[in-house]
Amino acid sequence: MKKLSIFSLALFSFILLSSCGGGSSPTGSSYDNESSGETGGGNNSGGLGTTNIAVSASSGKYIINGITTGSLSLEKGMTYTFTNSSSSSHPFRLSQTADGTHSGGSSYSLGVSYSGNVLTFVVPSTAPATLYYFCTVHSGMGGSGSIAISGTSGGNNGGGNNSGESGGSTY
C-alpha cells in the first residue's frame, strides 16, 4: 500500500507539473515571452509561433502586458508583435540606447516592421543582448524597462532589415 501511495503522489506531481504552462498573469516588474501567450503560425524560422504583446500608455509611461515600464525577455529567431493601443500619441520604437533618440540613440530596425499600430519584431541572430523601448515623441516613457535578448547567434533566424514605416505609429 505504501508503494502505491508514493506512486500515486509521483503520478499526481507529474500530471500537475505537465499541465502548468507559462501562465498568463505576470507579477513583478519583468516577465518573459511565455507570459504573453503564443499563437500558431508566425513567420519565424523555428516555427514556434508569434508572441503577442499589448502596449499602452498611462501617466507618461508605457504599460507592457499590464506592467508599467516592465522589462522583457525575448529569444533570437522568435517573432513578437507589439500592438500599441496608444500609437498615435505615443509611437513605440526599439533602440540600443536607453530612451532612444532622446538620449542620442537611434531606432533599431533590423528585423522590425510596422503595420498600422503593430510593430513586428523577428529577433535576428545578430540582435544585441539588450534593447530598450521608447516613445519617439516623449522622453522617459520607457523608464527603466529593457529588453533582454537570449539565444544563440548561429543559424538562420530571419529578420532582415525592414525599417520602412508604413501606416501609423506602433508600439
The reported pLDDT for the residue numbered 23 is: 37
Q: In sequence order, what are the residues at sequence separation of 6 or more whose Cβ sits closer than 8 angstroms to the Cβ of residue 1?
A: none
The whole-angstrom separation of Cα 49 and Cα 102 is 33
Question: What average pLDDT does range 132-151 have in this prediction?
Answer: 95
More confident residue, 9 or 108: 108
Instruction: Collapse the DSSP code of 146 into the 3-class scheme (helix H, G, I; strand E, B; otherwise coil) and give the result.
Output: coil
**Does the pLDDT at position 12 exceed 50?**
no
pLDDT in tens, 72-110: 999 999 999 999 998 789 999 999 999 999 999 999 999
The domains of the chain, with CATH numbers, are 29-150 (2.60.40)
Quickly tell me which residue has 516555427 as its cell: 47
Mean pLDDT in the chain? 73
Task: Inform me whether the pLDDT recorded for 21 exceeds 80.
Answer: no
Percent of the chain residues past pLDDT 90, beyond the cut:
56
- Please state the rounded mean pLDDT for residues 127-141: 96
pLDDT of residue 48: 61
Query: Residues in the chain, how many?
Result: 171
Q: In terms of pTM, does the model score above 0.85?
A: no
Integer Cα distance of 101 and 115 in angstroms:
21
Residue 150 above 70 pLDDT? Answer: yes
CB of 38 within 8 A of CB of 75? Answer: no
Task: Check residues 34 and 124 and name the one with the higher pLDDT.
Answer: 124
Q: Is 158 left (phi over 0), alpha (psi -120 to 50) or beta?
A: left
SS3 100: helix
Name the band, by pLDDT with cuts 50, 70 and 90, for residue 134: very high
